[in-house]
Amino acid sequence: MKFGIMVNEGPYQHQASDTAYLFAKAVLAKGHEIYRVFFYHDGVNNGTRLTVPPQDDRNIVNRWSELAAKHGIDLVVCVAAAQRRGILDESEAKRHGRDANNIAAGFRISGLGQLVEAGIQADRLVVFGD
């Protein structure tokens, strides 16, 4: 079975990102496929490389990056939600006259069309968070 995953909450303010990550790991362990993980609303905060949790805490951003690298998962951050929260890739930073970007490894910025496509291509689209 092919899954699309949508994450609507940030990495440390709600359990949605942790739950989505653990769900993704379980899906892969059972031999299923993840078509795409789409981060929307405050969920885009999962895609910033500037997150620095305490050493004794889990690093949710790194967990997503490592999972994507290991399994070739497409991690997409909504462009409009990301811009509102100051999350930019190199292209968006340049386009808006900013001198830096902060997108984490394995993540990319794109539009809502990527969410629609995930809903069409996946057998199930599972949403985590409000």
Quote the pLDDT of residue 23.
98
Which pLDDT belongs to residue 123?
A: 98
Pairing of strands 2-7, 107-110: unpaired
Report, as an integer, the average pLDDT of 27-56: 97
Ordered by where they begin, the domains of the chain are 2-128 (3.40.1260.10)
Per-residue model confidence as pLDDT tens digits over 91-112: 999 999 999 999 999 999 999 9
Contact between residue 58 and residue 25 where contact means Cβ atoms under 8 Å apart: no
Distance CA 4, CA 65 (A): 17
Catalytic-role residue among 78, 79, 87, 118: 78
Helices (H) and strands (E) in the chain, counts: 5, 5
Q: Is 114 a known active-site residue?
A: no
Q: Tell me what pLDDT residue 83 has.
A: 96
